[in-house]
């Protein structure tokens, strides 16, 4: 583990990580969203090692991280006007653009699609690393496939251990949920995965509509089981958390709570959050903490489906369904 100053990583640390990436190694690094597991995006064998380390289905494409819009020209066949406009507004930041892939991109990186997903991350460590390494870096979230994404270097080690050659520890991620993925090839952005850059930010309005089948089919990752800790996750309406958790505890279940107010013992209050942003930031860590507390079920309070709340609810539904099904709704109150 290579510990760096999150705001100003040392040139020596960056040079070491860049050297490893250029040699085909796996390097985990912090981004503002979650930790990424990086490899040289142009190298099929290097990218192949990502899939092995994560046990990731090989038709699930990776996000290619670059240091600037100019660098997008080297991984995409072209950058259409909508993509230019979105990149100008949101890069560096938690927005991933799906573009027509440059033919030089290996099928391992694109999951065999004709498109490629690209993003310029805003975290000072990620950005400094990309500027130092001067190659595009493919990086999915640095968790084992199906697990909650890592928001600390320790989470990466817990999931992947020494299958990663180098883990850069740049502290806790500030956003906490993965980037918004947008198809930017047409006239209008099509949201393929919700994130911190919201529908409202993209001028799409928050109509509460689920991703339709056609859109989901275009983002292969949304098909798979996701974000599930070892314990069961139960999603309840805001305010119902302490009551539901206490009810379950009285029946002898070991129960954890993630919500806006604590509950008395024997409920394990795992996290008390102050806002939707706070929940987004702490959600994955709290799910891992619930697992470590050894609870059978963790009760999580829902949040309104607007702004980043849509991304949080998307992840929570998948964690609660356990099978990646976006159709699982709120469970009935006690």
The gap from C-alpha 30 to its chain's centroid, in whole angstroms, comes to: 11
Asked if 279 is part of the footprint of ligand TXA (rule: CB under 6 A), the reply reads no
Binding ligand TXA by CB under 6 A: which of 2, 33, 164, 256?
33
CB neighbour list of residue 208: distance below 8 Å, 6 or more residues apart: 305
User: Can you give the length of the chain in residues?
Assistant: 334
The least CB distance from residue 332 to ligand TXA, in Å, is 30
The phi, psi pair for 167, rounded to 5°, reads: -115, 120
Binding Mg ion by CB under 5 A: which of 96, 115, 141, 269?
141
Cβ neighbour number for residue 166 with a 10 Å cutoff: 18
Among the candidate windows 92-100, 137-145, 151-159, 253-261, which touches Mg ion by CB under 5 A? 137-145
Query: CA–CA separation, 316 vs 262, rounded Å?
Result: 19
Q: Report CA-CA distances (Å) from 143 to 56, 98, 114, 202.
A: 10, 22, 26, 28
**With contacts defined by CB under 6 A, how many residues of the chain interact with ligand TXA?**
31
Residue that is written with structure tokens 């968790």 in the block: 143
Binding ligand TXA by CB under 6 A: which of 13, 21, 31, 317?
31
The least CB distance from residue 99 to ligand TXA, in Å, is 8
- Of 100 and 278, which has the nearer Cβ to ligand TXA? 100
The gap from C-alpha 169 to its chain's centroid, in whole angstroms, comes to: 17
CB neighbour list of residue 233: distance below 8 Å, 6 or more residues apart: 287, 297, 298, 300, 316, 319, 320, 322
Asked if 115 is part of the footprint of ligand TXA (rule: CB under 6 A), the reply reads yes
CB 119 within 8 A of CB 63: yes
The least CB distance from residue 321 to Mg ion, in Å, is 16
With CB under 5 to 8 Å by kind, the binding choice for 132 among ligand TXA, Mg ion, none is: none
Give the CB-nearest residue to ligand TXA: 221
For 157, counting Cβ atoms within 10 Å of its Cβ (0-12 exposed, 13-18 middle, 19+ buried), the class is middle
- Pattern of binders to ligand TXA over 156-195, x per CB under 6 A? ----------------------xx-x----------xx--
Asked if 139 is part of the footprint of ligand TXA (rule: CB under 6 A), the reply reads yes
With CB under 5 to 8 Å by kind, the binding choice for 34 among ligand TXA, Mg ion, none is: ligand TXA
Asked if 96 is part of the footprint of ligand TXA (rule: CB under 6 A), the reply reads yes
**Strand duo 190-193 + 180-183: pairing:** antiparallel
Binding ligand TXA by CB under 6 A: which of 132, 141, 151, 246?
141
Give the CB-nearest residue to Mg ion: 141
- Which of helix, strand or coil describes residue 286? helix
- Of 219 and 269, which has the nearer Cβ to ligand TXA? 219
Positions in the binding site for Mg ion (CB under 5 A): 141
User: Given the rule CB under 6 A, which residues bind ligand TXA?
Assistant: 31, 33-34, 36, 60-63, 94, 96, 98, 110, 113, 115-117, 119, 121, 139-141, 178-179, 181, 192-193, 218-222
């Amino acid at each position: 583990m290579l510990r760096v100053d999150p705001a100003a990583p040392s040139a020596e640390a960056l040079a070491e990580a860049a050297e490893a990436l250029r040699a085909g190694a796996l390097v985990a690094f912090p981004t503002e969203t979650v930790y990424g597991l990086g490899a040289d995006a142009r190298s099929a064998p290097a990218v192949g090692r990502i899939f092995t380390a994560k046990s990731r289905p090989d038709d699930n494409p990776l996000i290619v991280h670059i240091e600037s819009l100019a660098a997008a020209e080297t991984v995409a066949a072209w950058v259409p006007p909508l993509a230019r406009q979105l990149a100008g507004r949101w890069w560096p930041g938690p927005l991933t653009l799906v573009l027509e892939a440059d033919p030089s991109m290996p099928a391992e990186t694109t999951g065999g699609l004709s498109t490629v997903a690209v993003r310029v991350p805003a975290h000072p460590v990620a950005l400094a690393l990309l500027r130092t390494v001067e190659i595009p870096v493919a990086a999915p979230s640095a968790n084992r496939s199906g697990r909650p994404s890592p928001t600390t270097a320790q989470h990466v080690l817990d999931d992947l251990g020494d299958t990663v050659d180098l883990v850069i520890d740049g502290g806790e991620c500030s956003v906490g949920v993965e980037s918004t993925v947008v198809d930017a090839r047409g006239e209008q952005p099509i949201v393929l995965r919700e994130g911190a850059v919201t529908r409202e930010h993209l001028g799409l309005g928050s109509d509460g509509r689920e991703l339709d089948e056609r859109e989901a089919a275009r983002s292969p990752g949304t098909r798979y089981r996701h974000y599930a800790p070892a314990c069961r996750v139960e999603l309840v309406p805001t305010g119902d958390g302490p009551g539901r958790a206490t009810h379950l505890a009285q029946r002898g279940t070991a129960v954890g709570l993630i919500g806006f107010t604590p509950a008395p013992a024997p409920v394990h209050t795992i996290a008390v959050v102050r806002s939707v942003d706070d929940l987004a930031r702490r959600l994955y860590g709290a799910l891992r903490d619930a697992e470590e507390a050894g609870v059978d079920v963790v009760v999580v309070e829902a949040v309104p489906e607007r702004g980043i709340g849509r991304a949080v609810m998307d992840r929570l539904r998948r964690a609660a369904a356990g099978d990646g099904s976006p159709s699982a709704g709120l469970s009935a109150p006690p």
